[in-house]
Homo-oligomer: A and B are copies of this chain.
């Protein structure tokens, strides 16, 4: 009952690019040779030997040979999918023809790599007719090399206004008999070149947030049964910023993100998975802060909030520069409004199982309850959150579990890390629930 997907992975968390040939090294293939040997949480869901922007133009011929050599050698054992990026430009037939030649060479069965190649990444696409030109080259290559038509998947980098507009055409165009666009796999945003194409400017030179682009990419993926991936996060040092970006992306339905280093791969492989332990958040006015669990109580211990009992049924609550004089009931109400709970994987599985049992017993909706003792400045307040679960809530809650199961099915090399993180009992229940 969902849009049909033509590929194996339902989710892609990580899109990791490596330069195919680096000048000045003894082994110009050093970077992709090392990337090909990544395993576990350091290995991406999709690995992209990058024969475009990451590799200097004069090294790209050698890059093609390096891809062939490294993928032929390491492809069998690499745990993720392999999708080299070749050159392409919507406004340059020269570049497009080079991209065709690069793919033709990499996909040549005589070179021994193509059996491990899942597809190619096409950057700088334009409107839908430009996507069709690339698709046609895939078809010709498959035909020339005796590969099954449609067996090589095609991912694109959306980095122009035209390409963003094309996202709205995919669903209608993919079914047409004159193309093989069903081979489409990832829709990846490329914000650096998109910013240039849109001629956008910011005072500090940092990239604009491009919220609408990401929405449109995610929606295009949803409507056409594809997977949306966000572009590179340049400031490799800024792990917190990378996490904020990923959280924002997930709220848009964009689960995957580009990674530039194995460190970023680890973060991006982990971030979309539910946390090991649940936690309470308190809204302190301009942000939400995580409460600290101390002896089973949820303790707030910082300056933004202060709380004092001033009379029998009277409390003074300061939050930021707001002041509230409240009865005990109103205080409870106020804190209830300001708290939220982030469920762990275990919590989600519990709730799903509970709802499944209720459904079995003929109930369509049940209340899920979660209680905590909040402590602010020594004052204890009990709060209880109720949430009605019906079929729709159940199905929406299922997304992170479906992601978990997709990871578990396709990444045996990450089983150990998952069991270390969650415990094998939770992992087992999470792989079973909802099926």
Smallest CB–CB gap between A406 and chain B, Å?
11
Which of A198, A234, A393, A400 has its CB near the most chain B CB atoms (within 10 A)?
Answer: A198
- 11 A-B pairs, CB-CB below 8 angstroms? A2-B197, A160-B222, A165-B168, A195-B396, A196-B395, A199-B255, A204-B343, A211-B212, A238-B337, A286-B320, A304-B321
> Which residue in B208, B213, B220, B250 is a CB contact (below 8 Å) of A161?
B220
Please, which residue of chain B has its CB at the minimum distance from the CB of A192?
Answer: B392
Q: Is A340 an interface residue (CB 8 A)?
A: yes
Smallest CB–CB gap between A394 and chain B, Å?
10
Q: A387 to chain B: which residues have CB within 8 Å?
A: 205
Residues 204 to 253 of chain A near chain B (Cβ within 8 Å): 204-206, 208-209, 211-213, 215-216, 218-223, 234, 238, 247, 250-253
Please, which residue of chain B has its CB at the minimum distance from the CB of A196?
Answer: B396
Q: How large is the interface on A (under 10, 10 to 19, 20 to 34, 35 or more residues)?
A: 35 or more
Q: Is A69 an interface residue (CB 8 A)?
A: no
> Which residue in B23, B198, B303 is a CB contact (below 8 Å) of A218?
B198
Complex Cα distance, B92 from A269, in Å, reads 34
Q: Is A281 an interface residue (CB 8 A)?
A: yes
Q: Is A354 an interface residue (CB 8 A)?
A: no
Assembly stoichiometry (copies): 3
Please, which residue of chain B has its CB at the minimum distance from the CB of A240?
Answer: B337
Complex Cα distance, B159 from A396, in Å, reads 12
Q: A206 to chain B: which residues have CB within 8 Å?
A: 340
Contact between A223 and B162 (Cβ–Cβ < 8 Å)? yes
Indicate with 1 or 0, residue by residue over A5-42, a CB within 8 angstroms of chain B CB atoms: 00000010000000000010000000000000000000
Q: A234 to chain B: which residues have CB within 8 Å?
A: 388
Q: A198 to chain B: which residues have CB within 8 Å?
A: 218-219, 222, 252-253
Contact between A252 and B165 (Cβ–Cβ < 8 Å)? no
Contact between B340 and A392 (Cβ–Cβ < 8 Å)? no
